[in-house]
A and B are shown apart, each in its own frame.
Chain A
Amino acid sequence: MFTYYLDLALRSLKRNKALTALMVLALALGIGASMTTLTVLHVLSGDPLPGKSHQLFYPQLDPQDMDGYKPQDEPPEQVSWIDGMALLQARRAHFQALMTGGAVPIQPAQSSIDPFFEDARYTTADFFPMFDVPFLYGQGWNATDDEASAHVAVLTRELNEKLFGGKDSTGQTLRMNDVAFRIVGVLDSWRPTPHFYDLNTGSYSADEGVFVPLATATDLKFARNGSTDCWDKGSSENMKTATCTWLQFWVQLDTPAEATAYREFLLNYSREQKALGHFQRPPNVRLRDVMGWLDYNKVVPSDVHLQVWLAFGFLLVCLVNTVGLMLAKFLRRSGELGVRRALGASRRSLFAQLLVEAGAVGLVGGAGGLLLALLGLWLVRGQPSDYAALAHLDLPMLLATFVAAVMASLLAGLLPAWRACLTPPALQLKSN
């Protein structure tokens, strides 16, 4: 029966090519636009470390003075050197890392490559095991290197490709800002999206190319990128004693019980600091996990949300349009439907036949929508924004495109098919 209906549907669609083309095109445009914007939203609001993100937490403290104090205010988004070091050395979590971003001039040994700037991350050793960073060669440094301010560095795969042609460079020397560093590890491809551990340097920016121990970078006064918030006397000559927050601190807490305990620890730390006179405000701490932190920072640009709404509005208009056109098309065939009814076809089977026709439009529209979505994403990738390169259609979105198209067209076919089935056969035959 289905093949017969399909045959009827194709004949009917072929009979009025312009109308069919219009329905398919409208559906394809609506689906294409919706899927393009949804894919971008899907990519941007994704989990940067699936399976691990709910164990990673971002502690916040409020070490500011009473200037401009409001009780409901959120604590600063970063920590000062003093608090960061205190929390790091307390070792209350499974892993903890203190870090900040920067940029270093790299002076390649080969004269064929001019010196260039590379974005860098200055961090303590736990960064690598905590974020499950994959290594291609060697490994990260350890806590001893942190304490000794060792001149060691870890490169990303891309930078290793550029400097050493992709060969195992561990043990080799790299000159940065006129200082020699020993390469201890090379990362495999790794790009958590969004760049959750430091949102100051761009939520979706490409990640840094080189990693250096935090102590080493501060000793050598490497240039820093990111945000610095100061209060009171602000930045003195030395960032280590400055009343400024400028570092990110992350911890791994494996169970909810550990997270509760850690929050209590942060409160106690704040109380203790207040008692010592270091903190002036009442204890005000936060302990957000990765997704909570991204949510709080509203990393997905509001324009992207707006685009999704726009695309869905567009799809809605396209669907209303398709409903109208199908209605016209089906009602025009009342004569044919009347004959079928008179020959014994039930209302049910007529309804099924018309829905098959609507579904066929949906399938073709879906294929068109998929092509348009691929085109749309290709255009998005051509944009110079920093998340552009991430816009790719994955398998679930691809399937969703087809399901959405067919569902949409069936939905659009329901009303017209029902109206067309209602016409009494005798009346149609008589009027002809």
Chain B
Amino acid sequence: MTMHPILAALRKHKAGVVLIALQIALTLAIVCNAVFIIGQRIERVNRPTGLDESNLFLVSQQWVGAPSGDDAASVEKLDSLQLTDLAALRALPGVASVAPINSLPLLNSSWNGAVDHKPGDTNEGSFHGTRTTYYFSDDQALSTLGLRLVAGRNFTAADVGHQGFRDNSEPSVVILTRALADKLFPKGDALGKVIYVNGSTKPTTIIGMVERMQVPGTGTWTNSFVWNATLVPTRMDANFSRYAIRAKPGQLDAVMRAVTPALYKANPMRVLDDDSVRSFAQIRDKAYQADRGMAILMGVVALILLCVTAAGIVGLTSFWVGQRHRQIGVRRALGARKIDILHYFQIENLLIAGTGVVIGVLLALSLNMWLMSHYEMTRIPVLYVLTGVLAMLAIGQAAVFVPARRASNVPPVVATRAV
């Protein structure tokens, strides 16, 4: 079959052809970028925190009428309240381990600073550390959170200290995530080395490395240090506290129910409300709800767009088939087979859709560039665009099939009839 008759026929319907091609181009541009955004969000939501998230939950509570923690005596008093709670929680049946902690990954409540391998000094602007988040906990942190130690040793009970909430004294030992250790010591020999916390002059020794641990913040401002966590063996003493609790397998719900009464029994002078006991699954759910909503919205819009475009192709091709009823009859009478008529419309659609996707690829790339300059976006991978192109061509062929088959069923006798 030669192309010439098809092109000649298309020239007669310039407006319609241009509109369909334009629609295909716009759809391709929007759908490619929407699917790319969905992909990015899914990747973000699925990144592992480094924790063993099943059977883990968090308790946040505040004491009522507790001392302020502004002087040494009241810090001791707060610490004994915390130790009482820890003992009560560790004694509960079904509890595997408990650790006091200031925050958890995805909790969006963080304590951030910077560490460096040079001491800070009082001269102006000399401290350029690596950003990190701090997790203050005790020797039970690794087992409770399910962190994987890849080098060095865990904290021992002897390492664990305690200090007031506003006390800034530096720890003598820390465990870092491997990402942070490698950033500070690119040769990979961080273990046993000394670092300085928040520009202090007091040395802190790296005694261990964990494979991975995410920071609490999920906003884009944390993107530069999302895997840089520092574990400090210090119980924070304030008039509130948080406890990470690992339940024995299968007992999470029972333990979560038992925690509130147990804490009230240990000390009734406190407040725990509906949000105080949250499983890690709930924390994760809340942290990524906006990303999930965005991905769903993008998905729905992309799907409807494809349907609208497919319906548009069906509508316009049906109209053309109706208009060329008699010509089809003539071609059939002159010897064209049904399959020839079918192919005619399929090739015609392929030509239009082909033009559309070429423009669409250009549009998709410029849209991506515009998004990159205005929003948190990266360059769209070629794979997304290629898949989009193939999908658009396939949808075009699927949409054209029904009207094209109707065209191929036009009997040759139509040629002899007046309309």
Contacts and interface: CB of A to CB of B under 8 A. Distances in A.
B64 A385 contact: no
Contacts of B19: 320, 323-324, 327
Interface stretch (B45-53, B144-152, B222-230, B291-299): B291-299
A302 interface: yes
B119 to A, nearest CB: 14
B15 to A, nearest CB: 6
Given A234-B168, A324-B19, A328-B16, A314 B286 contact: no
A149 interface: no
14 contacts: A19-B315, A29-B304, A33-B301, A66-B125, A105-B64, A116-B273, A117-B62, A310-B301, A313-B29, A317-B309, A321-B312, A325-B316, A328-B315, A332-B323
Given A324-B16, A328-B315, A314 B293 contact: no
B264 to A, nearest CB: 10
Contacts of B323: 331-332
Given A177-B64, A316-B26, A385 B308 contact: no
A339 interface: no
B273 A117 contact: yes
B290 interface: yes
Interface of B: 15-16, 19-20, 22-23, 26-27, 29-30, 34, 37, 62, 64-65, 68-71, 124-127, 164, 166-168, 198-199, 239-240, 269, 271, 273, 286, 289-290, 293-294, 297-298, 301, 304-305, 308-309, 311-312, 315-316, 319-320, 322-323, 371, 374-376, 419
Contacts of A236: 166
A67 B69 CA distance: 29
B22 A178 contact: no
A306 interface: yes
Contacts of B22: 320
B24 to A, nearest CB: 9
Given A177-B64, A234-B168, A384-B289, A116 B15 contact: no
A85 interface: no
B240 A223 contact: yes
B316 A237 contact: no
A275 B309 CA distance: 69
A239 interface: yes
Q: Is the interface of B mostly helix, strand, loop or mixed?
A: helix
Residue from B240, B301, B371 having most chain A Cβ neighbours under 10 A: B301
B127 A324 contact: no
Contacts of B15: 327, 415-416, 419
Interface of A: 19, 22, 26, 29, 33, 65-69, 103, 105, 107, 114-117, 177-178, 221, 223, 233-239, 242, 301-303, 305-307, 310-311, 313-314, 316-318, 320-321, 323-325, 327-329, 331-332, 383-385, 415-416, 419, 432
A130 to B, nearest CB: 30
A242 B312 CA distance: 67
B16 A321 contact: no
A67 B312 contact: no
Contact of A306 (B68, B168, B319, B375): B375
B376 A115 contact: no
A54 B15 CA distance: 51
A384 B292 CA distance: 11
B273 A26 contact: no
A223 B308 contact: no
A331 B323 CA distance: 10
A310 B375 contact: no
A69 B125 contact: yes
A377 to B, nearest CB: 13
B45 to A, nearest CB: 14
Contacts of B376: 302
Residue from B20, B69, B297 having most chain A Cβ neighbours under 10 A: B297
A62 B374 CA distance: 29
Contacts of B16: 324, 327-328
A67 B64 contact: no
B297 A307 contact: yes
Contacts of B308: 26, 29, 317-318, 321
B20 A324 contact: yes
